[in-house]
Amino acid sequence: MTRAERTHDKRAVREHFDRLAPDLDRWRRKSRAYHGELERFCRSVVPPGATVLELGCGAGDLLAAVRPARGVGIDISPGMIERAREKYPTLTWRVGDAESLDLDETFDYVIVSDLLGHLEDIWTTFHGLRRVVRSETRVVVTSCSYLWEPALRLAEFIGQRIPLRQQNWLTLDEIENLLELCDFEVVKRGQRFLIPKNVPLVSRWVNSVVAKLPLVRRLCLIGYVVARPRPQTREAAGDDGLTCSVVIPCRNEAGNIAPAVARIPDLGAQTEIVFVDGASTDGTREAIEAQIDLHRGKKDIKLVLQPTATGKGDAVRLGFDAASGDVLIILDADLTVEPEDLPKFYEAVVQRRGDLVNGSRLVYPMERQAMRFLNLLGNRAFSVLFTWILEQRTTDTLCGTKALRRSDYLRIKANRAFFGDFDPFGDFDLLFGAAKLNLKIVELPVRYRPRVYGTTKISRFRHGVLLLRMSWIAIKKLKLG
């Protein structure tokens, strides 16, 4: 297509939406169930108070619905922008072309909703987003499924849907491929919405429950992708001088304290070891204090006390609050995951391969007695369940070794009230929190060894019931909310 033809086509798109602008509220009322679902989805992804850019913002309803601290909407149609300014004067509205962004600021979130079908060059649009994002930015893309094209055209014909020009129809795979070509990587993707009209007692249940079931969800109207900028090299990001804190929750692990200190390697510019003792009765606290005295001036070792044995989850949170490192790593005191593997976790975080690096004990063969058979079966079952809930691959939910940046942990902590303080293990607080914030969860295989000293604190059946309860909380909050 020549430049003159592209200019003519864009003018036709602009004029088409200018004609629709005066009656847009009437058309939205006809499709209020659809637009309500889009708004609910975007609110579940974009926290209130963020800085948000929306491309193809129309009259601004979706951008206003996510309650941004600073919201900027861009649309090719002057008529649509005029309507947006009238309805939402506290937000910023600009006439502009999504394929040639001209902004000198970055945003926490960029929303590209129902826009891809109208673009002449999707690659150019995605490529231009690099100017307005930073490493923490998330790009949220929604698009109607090509399976619904006949039904949507029929809805237009009978006057139940806003009339549109000829559109592009992309699969999620095609959207992901275009994002990858433009140096973005997908954090999660999925589908929503089976019934686009309000049918009392039916549509809400079907859209909240049935539409999110495996296989059925492929028939949904809306497909979505959440992506982040592909990580820079460590040198480009200025991450060479990061410090690291290794947090070790422990209760009655006296025999493992000295080996842990001896085996933890140097990580980053400075390595801090934070022991959190949960009211041990076997001399664990004294063993930690002895290591602090032995390595004074040579190793940075800190002791944090739990007044009562309130569980590993509370110990992890106390340890993270006391830690000073830029990168935070959890190491279980039983040393069933080898301390020598910690550099892999540190490097994965520093190189931004993932935002939350989760150990997986289910890749390499285990030594006999390292994990009981029923525990292994339970882990396998929960891995399938949590992969569906979190919409990111999760094969080992209870591996105690996890790593993330302090800045990301503080965001998870700030949003903890969304799920509530329900996790006695500490693993799900991080996994659920990361999924809610669209942080990328990656898994790092580790070898799992039998414990040498002490006894396990896991009760298969009692804690299995707790896991089911936490699964239900996550389903309600992330799937049905």
Q: Between 200 and 328, whose confidence is greater?
A: 328
Q: What is the pLDDT of residues 87-120, one digit of tens each?
A: 999 999 999 999 999 899 999 999 999 999 889 8
Q: Model confidence at 296, in pLDDT bands (50, 70, 90)?
A: very high
More confident residue, 362 or 16: 16
Which amino acid appears at position 393 of this protein?
R
What pLDDT shows up at residue 7?
Answer: 59
Same domain, yes or no: 125 and 246 = no
Among 205, 230, 255, which residue terminates a domain? 230
Same-domain check for residues 44 and 119 = yes
pLDDT at 50 > cutoff 80: yes
Over residues 275-285, mean pLDDT: 94
C-alpha to C-alpha distance for 384 and 393, rounded to whole angstroms: 9
**Tokens representing residue 129 in the block:** 């987003």
245/179 same-domain check: no
Alpha carbon distance 348, 326 (integer Å): 14
Contacts of 311 (CB under 8 A, 6+ apart): 278, 424, 425
Which tokens belong to 14? 């602009």
> Is the pLDDT score of 3 beyond 70?
no
Give pLDDT tens digits for 399-420. 889 999 999 999 999 988 887 7
Q: Rounded to the nearest 10 degrees, what angle do helices 373-390 and 460-474 cross at?
A: 10
449-458 average pLDDT score = 66
Mean pLDDT, the chain, as a whole number? Answer: 87
Instruction: Check residue 459 and give its pLDDT.
Output: 54
Check whether residue 341 and residue 412 sit in a common domain: yes
Given this model, what pLDDT does residue 456 score?
Answer: 59
Task: Collapse the DSSP code of 274 into the 3-class scheme (helix H, G, I; strand E, B; otherwise coil) and give the result.
Answer: strand
pLDDT at 241: 83
Predicted confidence (pLDDT) at residue 367 exceeds the cutoff of 90: no
Domain limit, last residue, from 182, 202, 230: 230
What pLDDT does 457 receive? 55
Give strand ranges (E) for 292-429. 300-305, 327-330, 356-360, 402-405
Identify which of 335, 385, 397, 328 has the alpha carbon closest to the alpha carbon of residue 361. 397
Instruction: Note down the domain range covering 108.
Output: 3-230
H helices then E strands: how many in the chain?
A: 18, 14
How do residues 118-164 score in pLDDT, each as one tens digit? Answer: 898 899 999 999 999 999 999 999 999 988 888 888 988 888 888 88
- Over pLDDT 70: what percentage of the chain? 89
More confident: 390 or 222:
222
Q: What is the pTM of this model?
A: 0.79
Q: Please tell me whether residues 224 and 248 are part of one structural domain.
A: no
- Both 205 and 250 in one domain: the answer is no
When divided into structural domains, the chain yields a total of 2
Q: Is 300 in the same domain as 395?
A: yes
What does the pLDDT read at residue 418?
Answer: 83
Measured CA to CA, the distance from residue 123 to residue 179 in angstroms comes to 8
What pLDDT score was predicted for residue 85? Answer: 97
Q: pLDDT-based confidence at 186, cuts 50/70/90?
A: very high
Domain of residue 119, CATH code: 3.40.50.150
Share of the chain above pLDDT 90, in %: 54
Domain co-membership, 203 together with 329: no
Mean pLDDT lowest among 61-75, 123-137, 190-204: 190-204
Domain boundary among 173, 198, 230: 230
In this structure, are 137 and 241 located in the same domain?
Answer: no
